[in-house]
Structure formats: structure tokens, C-alpha cells
A and B are shown apart, each in its own frame.
Chain A
Amino acid sequence: MQKITKEQLTEKAVSLLRDGTVTHVLGWSAGEFDYDITPAVFSDEASLRKSFVWNDFCGANFSKYLVSKTRGIEGKLLVFLKPCDTYSFNQLLTEHRFDREKVYAIGIPCEGMADIDKVKAICGDGISSVNCDGEKLLVQSIYEDAPISVSPSDVLAERCVNCKSKKHVAYDELMGEDGDVLDSARFDEVSRIEAMSPDERFLFWQNELSRCIRCNACRDACPACTCEVCVFNNPRSGVENKSPANNFEEQMFHIIRAFHVAGRCTDCGECSRVCPQNIPLHLLNRKFIKEMNECYGEYQAGETVGSKSPLTDYTLEDLEPGEVFDRGDINA
């Protein structure tokens, strides 16, 4: 259950539109279902009041949208950022991917978002509506007469269970209270996979990645994937729009992508959220983050604007390549 309400956000957006601080508002609007929320740009009060949505399913990280939505507009775009979104926001600024001057960022608190698959696991299919009574989620199914009451903490998305930070690292204005960087257990699952034998680990990933249908949703939602021309769309790269000859090639797609975003991934978890096949893609990125932390000291991409990732920064104290190579034995 979110502490800040839809009404507060709507009023804020309306007042900023009215006083001319912003000309557009990047927000959420309803999709086909209550849990199927879609990002939308509003430019007038009426549509805001009619369609703006804020609930436990507003997981989308808006930072990436700023790259395209700030283009071609006069004036400023209002964006609401949850704490985890602000890290992507900073990372994109570091990479000069949008014009900071065109954005008015409001940091909003987040109590964690719900994972619809966890809701379905409790309530079954056929969900027709999800409402909130202030404490609990009331899930109405077409097969039931009365709504089922679900505690939000039981259906919290994995990335929110292991939330790394309630602290906003970027904003023009803050609504509600700012939190702290949390001591999350987000690397526990990575450690578990590291502890597997190479064969077990290969099987684990083969099992997960074999479900990939190459829909590219992970790439399209990823705030680190904002290339003008993605290598997977580039005829010169030799891998453009290639249909897989076998499922090993799908694995390479995800591994190449993990390499491409290494050092820039803020661990926002969008890749796993949008994956229709529920592949835990965020674990690949977390493995990279964990490796970098262990080899070069703690680094959080997007914590500040302009920071250099350990992979593009060189200091005399860096590990020698041989020492990094020897670490391979630990994980063998």
C-alpha cells in the first residue's frame, strides 16, 4: 500500500501545469486491467484528472522514457520518480542521454510494488479488478463472489523485497519523506547460484533462458539500453535481427546484453519485471555488480551524476588482470 495517494500526485501535477512550471506530465494510466498499468504523457488537466493512475502496480521506471519524451517538446516535462528510478535517472544524465533542463523531477516515496504473478498464485486466474482498502489489496476474480483480501507484503515483487534504497538520489522536489539506502539481501540468490557446480549452473541458466521468446522486452524496458542503434539492430554487427538457430544463441543474447550494461546497470529490475516468460534476468546483472564490488570496491551506478564505473575507470590500485582471472577458479 502506497503512502502517497493518487489525489496528491494529481493535484501536484495539475498545479505545476497551471503555473507553467511544466507543459507535460509523464505518469501512469490504466491499461486493459487494473494491474496492467501503462506509462502516458498528459498535457492537460482534464486528461490528467480522467486517466492518471497511481497504485501498487505502477512499477515502470520512467527514467528511460525521458530520453524520447523530452525530445521535441517546448517547456518542461514533469516526471514522478520512485527511489530506485532516481538511480537510472542519474545514470542516464551521466551518459548525456537527455537534457536535464527539460525535466522537472519529483521524488515520490515507494512502499514496494506488487507482482501480479504472486497475486495470481494466491487468488488464481480471472482477476477482474484489484482495489485497495487502505491496508489490503482487494482482488476480485470472475470466479468468486466476494473479493479476496491480500496483504501487500505477501505479493511484493522480488526487486522490492530486496529493495536496495528508499533514498532519492535526484529530484527537483520531494513529496513525502526521503528514506535511506538499505542493507538488502539482493546478492543472496547470486551467491546461491555461484555455489552451484558449473554443470548445475549451466543447467540452471539453460532451463531459465530456454524459455526466452526473444521479444526484446527486457532490452526495450532497460534504462541502460538507450543506444541510438542497438547492436542487435545493426546490420554491421552480424547479429542483427537474427532468429535463433538454437537456444544457445538466446543465452548469448542475454549474456551479451549483460556485458553491454555492465557497470551502467543500476539494478532497477525492469528486465525481470517485463519478461513475459519470468526469466530472472536481473540475476545476470547482479552477478556483474557483485563481481565489480568485490574486485574494485562498492560501486552503485547512478548514485551520483558523472561517476565513472569501475569498468571505465582505471586507478593504480586496481587489481591486476591476473588476479581477476584467478578469481575464475573460485567460481569454477
Chain B
Amino acid sequence: MTMIETDTSSVPARILKSPKHWRNRKAASHWRSGDEEFDAAKFGMWLFLSTEVLLFAGIFCGYAVFRLLYPEAWANGSHYLDWRFGAANTAVLLLSSWTAANAVRLAQLDKQFWFKVNLVITIVCALLFLFIKLKFEYMLKLPAGKAPGTFFSYPMAHDPHEPLWWSLYYVGTGIHAFHVIIGAIIFAVVLWRAVRYQSYGPTQYTLVENSALYWHIVDLIWIFLFPLLYLIH
């Protein structure tokens, strides 16, 4: 039986006595045990994640259908994108996925300081991802007229279906970026509660676990969006 040493000497009494501190939090009364509550929450999260996969499957299916119908528009489209920004964003998301996984482990081990550090890095990576996306991609392409559907006004396009490519590009990356924003907000909530109440520890880390799962699926979807949009031509 391994005991985890919990040094509480440096924790202010205000936090230790808070009902929101992880030591004071209990499973809701309708659960037989905290374990059941945790497993049910996690199973529910996996069900939700599967609907997320189905959401993006619609985009992937649209990609496949239109690529088969209009191969030249798709080939041109991917050549308009710079793989370096895609690869940079992939690296940023992988790093943040790792820090999210770290955050779960550190909460399980009650290493509050490093837990918070990893949360901060995850949030910073999310913002960096959005910054690269906006600054080097959307903000360069939209003024040039490489815009979706009827907003399209790029004079040098070669294929009549290129507005369709841009529609798919902005919908795909846009919905993904929306998920990144939501993920960053969830991690900000976790960070706030960790700083204010030390809400997460070895017996109470359901929200950390589930937000990390959410973040991993966001990463997972980018792992497929990146080659589809930037590398396949």
C-alpha cells in the first residue's frame, strides 16, 4: 500500500477548510461511491466525444466527396496553404495535449504547483494555436479574397470549385478553432478552482480528467485535419 505524502503545512487554513477543497468534496449522495460517480462521468464524456467525432466525420465526408468530384480545386486549395503553419500548430497542440495529460497525473499525485503550471501551459498553447491560425492564415487569406462561398473574390483562382474548397477549409478549421476556444475556457475554470480552492486532488479530479479527454479529442481531430488540408493535394 503506497501512501502519498500530503504536506499541508504550506496550505492556508482558508483553503484547507473550504468545502470546495478536494479533501472536503464528497460524491453526490445518489452515487453508491465516488468511484461510480467518476466512472459514470467519464463514460458520459466518452459518449459526448463520440458525438464530436461524428460531427467532424461530416466534414471529413464532405472533404472526401468534393475531392473526388473536383480533384483540381482540392489540389489547388491545398497548395494555397503553407504546411509550415499547419505543422507548427500540430506541434503546439501535441505539446498542450502532453501538458493536459501531465495535469491529470499531477492532480492524482496531489502536486498542486506543477498541476497548475501544466494547466497554464495548456491554456497558453491554446491561445498560441489560435494566434497562429488567425495571424498567419485567416488574416492573410481573407483580405486576398480566399474566402468561403459567395465571399470569394480571389482573382487568380484556377478552378471554378475553389470557393467550395474555402468553404470546407473555413468550416473545418473554424469549428475546430471553436473547440480550442471552449477547451481553453474549461481549463481556465479548472485553473481558477485549483488556485482558489485546490479543488482537485487524488480523490477528486473528474473535471480535470474529462477536460483533458476533451482536449485530446481536439488534438486528435487536428491530427487528421492537418494532413487532409495541408499535405494531401
Q: Do the two chains belong together in a single complex?
A: no
Residues of B within 8 A of A (CB): none
